[in-house]
Chains A and B, each alone.
Chain A
Amino acid sequence: AQTVTQSQPEMSVQEAETVTLSCTYDTSESNYYLFWYKQPPSRQMILVIRQEAYKQQNATENRFSVNFQKAAKSFSLKISDSQLGDTAMYFCAFRGSGYALNFGKGTSLLVTP
Chain B
Amino acid sequence: QVQLKESGPGLVQPSRTLSLTCTVSGFSLTSYGVSWVRQPPGKGLEWIAAIWSGGSTDYNSALKSRLSISRDTSKSQVLLKMNSLQTEDTAMYFCARSIITLGYYVMDAWGQGASVTVSS
Verify that A and B bind, or say they do not.
no
A: which residues have CB within 8 A of B? none
